[in-house]
Amino acid sequence: MKKTVIGITVVGKDREGIVAAFTNFVFENGGNIEKINQNVIKGLFGMYLEASFTKTVDVEKFDSGIQLLSKIEKMDVSTHHETNAEKNIAIMVTKEPLCLETILEASKKKTLNGIISIIIGTEKTLEPIAKKAKIPFVVLEETNQEKAEEKIIAICKKYEIDLIVLARYMKILSPNFVWRYPNRIINIHPSLLPAFPGALAYAQAYERGTKIVGVTSHYVTENLDQGPIIFQDSFKVDPNDTLEEIKAKGQKLEADTLLKAVKMHLENKLEVRWRKVHVKSK
């Protein structure tokens, strides 16, 4: 039986009755709750629920109705509809180019089932790469992370972003941001944590004589670098490798592993169940 699935995110000040208000809205509109997840951190409430409809549903009427409810409940609400159409992608970067270049190359070769709509940078270092690819580049030099995230949210709404890719984006995103894009933000990092945390992971690993270096692509949650793992890969370290050679190998692997995760997501092949990523069977 064909069904329509609508993802709903609710973010705002925590108080009683929020869960009931939105689940009742789904039921009243003929929907069934398939997934629900909620969190509260320091008075901030976040909820994601997936509603399915076996009967024809007027999506525009549903969206307008839930936005009316959001005003009544004083919550920030967004809906997401899975379709077979190409998804809009936002790439967030700092100054390392390889992950960005690898994704742009895949897009150029038309092996990416999505449209890179915007590139967001914390500085201007990678702007020339975006200009060469003829993709809009927005630099957010805002030092206040809360204000920066407000701008990013506005940009993502403007471009109707379906997927956010952190291509070595060196900022920590708050729950207020992450909860708005559940299982729709993909990150990459060296699999050296927690032994070698931070920006100098490769240098720390080199100093300790690490024999194997790995990378992890994962969905982003409010818990830093602990979201559901999508893919992992590794390479052996040659005793004669210099720090620069290890970093070069690691950055290449990061880019390839991130691209693999992004491609699988865009092809709707990934599903998160019980905090684990499963590859959907055909």
pLDDT 10s digits, 82-97:
765 689 999 999 999 9
Please give the helix or strand (H or E) that residue 28 lies within, else none. Answer: helix 18-28
pLDDT 10s digits, 205-218:
788 888 888 889 99
Q: Which CATH class is domain 87-279?
A: alpha beta
Residue 225 is among the residues annotated as catalytic for this protein: yes
Q: Give the pTM.
A: 0.87
pLDDT 10s digits, 80-139:
887 656 899 999 999 999 999 999 999 999 999 999 999 999 999 999 999 999 999 999
Torsion of CA 244, 195, 233, 135, to 10 degrees: -70
- Reported confidence tier of residue 192, pLDDT bands at 50, 70, 90: low
Q: Where are the domains of the chain?
A: 4-81, 87-279
SS (H, E, C) 86-147: CEEEEEEECCCCHHHHHHHHHHHCCCCCEEEEEEEECCCCCHHHHHHCCCCEEECCCCCHHH
- Reported confidence tier of residue 265, pLDDT bands at 50, 70, 90: very high
CATH of segment(s) 4-81? 3.30.70.260
The single residue of 63, 225, 233, 241 carrying the catalytic annotation is: 225
